[in-house]
Structure 1
């Protein structure tokens, strides 16, 4: 059996998949596609995922893309230990949590990266967008606190789908300096989740990639047109609704943003 994850260690979507595989003790290799940062991905990776986005998973020659579909495949292919809760209602609940963090919270974290790493907007506009992002993250933390309720895990009694879906995004917000309130249930949950081997190993890979990648230089690469950030669906919505329409128009004029490629 061979399992390969097309990966970028900083991608929260890819982190979800790797945590799930590690929870099921499935051995896998990783491969980082070339050219993805400039919209030039090609070859075997694009044959697996024509959207040219990580993650993609290849199992014995069969390719799957989209992190949620990959999680479903993992659950079908390796049912033990189960990552979904037992009841239909609880399964729907954790899938809805995943949908919210995959789209809304991911978009805010991504927007903060646009501001802080890529310096898309500075001065009053940058300050306004950062302030708005901080308010939004705290709102999602409040929502997650309510969803967690009195459970130990978002999944219920055991770590699972709901937890591995949330932890990359909360950790991403923490990386931007926005952490759950000390003493909150969400803060206690995050400490428990980060202590798991599957999460700890995945976080370590992200930290190593950030350190090796020299994130302080990416704004210069962006300005030179050597890096293109993908503005798709929820990310574009976040930038526009939060007051950054001019960031989008400037990026399009300078050719340093990209969208999902057309299929051919």
Structure 2
């Protein structure tokens, strides 16, 4: 029980996949529990995350940790092998700054998917692209990955850019990651998606596109993951 690791997740959620990727990179064995969201949350999920009632939730030795970015920090602190953050204090602080920066973009991204108002969607798309430009110029620069030659926690945090954005484009017709306007970030996304541990742990594209279409039709404002 002391070493038992369980992950409560939801298959289309990029936030669940953040945690899955980190656990895979660290080589941590875990049991995955798929939640039936958003309306049939398990009693365990409500018990483990009574405040937000969202996935993902990591349960280690019976102790729950909620919120994907907090879970990533916990994984890094608990399993030091294959580090996901720099050891230099300043570089580590910079990485955490850009991880925090992702939260503002996620809010706008959700508006694109879930809003039924076209004007609100366009506003959300414009905000996402502006943040991506900042990310490309200030954080990525000329590096292959945010972590340099290998992916780190910043790359994992922005993993939704490399896969979920493209699928939203298919459904919504909203182009968020353009090779002409964001060439370095576009190349980063291509490289990120080719990393075996990422490529092997992604939701099925057709299934995800179908799910995004359902969310769009319902115009749901509920966020089952974070």
TM-score (norm 1): 0.72
Tell me how large the CA RMSD over aligned residues is. 2.6
Tell me what 1:14 maps to.
Answer: 16
Q: Secondary structure at the match of 2:32?
A: strand
Tell me what 2:91 maps to.
Answer: 90
* Residue among 146, 151, 157 paired with 2:143: 151
Please list, as runs of the form range in 1=range in 2, the aligned pairs for 1:174-193 lying within 5 A after superposition. 174-177=166-169, 178-182=175-179, 184-193=183-192
1:114 aligns with 2:102: no
Larger radius of gyration between Structure 1 and Structure 2: 1
**Is the 2:144–2:188 contact (alpha carbons within 8 Å) kept by the matching residues of 1?**
yes
Shift of 1:25: 1.8
Shift of 1:170: 4.5
**Is the 1:180–1:187 contact (alpha carbons within 8 Å) kept by the matching residues of 2?**
yes
Please list, as runs of the form range in 1=range in 2, the aligned pairs for 1:186-201 lying within 5 A after superposition. 186-201=185-200
1:229 aligns with 2:222: yes
State how far apart, in whole Å, the 1-side matches of 2:106 and 2:26 are.
25
**CA deviation map 1:175-197 (0-9, x unaligned):** 22224332611111111111112
State how far apart, in whole Å, the 2-side matches of 1:215 and 1:149 are.
31
Q: Secondary structure at the match of 2:53?
A: coil
**Is the 2:144–2:191 contact (alpha carbons within 8 Å) kept by the matching residues of 1?**
no
1:45 aligns with 2:37: no
**Is the 1:5–1:55 contact (alpha carbons within 8 Å) kept by the matching residues of 2?**
yes
State how far apart, in whole Å, the 1-side matches of 2:155 and 2:165 are.
15
Tell me what 2:172 maps to.
Answer: none
State how far apart, in whole Å, the 2-side matches of 1:199 and 1:46 are.
29
**Is the 2:145–2:188 contact (alpha carbons within 8 Å) kept by the matching residues of 1?**
yes
* Residue among 204, 207, 225 paired with 2:205: 207
State how far apart, in whole Å, the 2-side matches of 1:58 and 1:105 are.
27
State how far apart, in whole Å, the 2-side matches of 1:228 and 1:131 are.
17
1:31 aligns with 2:33: yes
State how far apart, in whole Å, the 1-side matches of 2:44 and 2:163 are.
31
**Is the 1:15–1:202 contact (alpha carbons within 8 Å) kept by the matching residues of 2?**
yes
**Is the 1:194–1:200 contact (alpha carbons within 8 Å) kept by the matching residues of 2?**
yes
Give unmatched runs, 5+ long, in structure 2: 170-174
Give unmatched runs, 5+ long, in structure 1: 236-264
Query: May I ask how many residue pairs the two structures share in their alignment?
Result: 215
Shift of 1:55: 0.5
1:138 aligns with 2:129: yes
**CA deviation map 1:183-230 (0-9, x unaligned):** 611111111111112211232x2536526x65444566x48xxx7614
Change (3 A) 1:214 1:76: closer
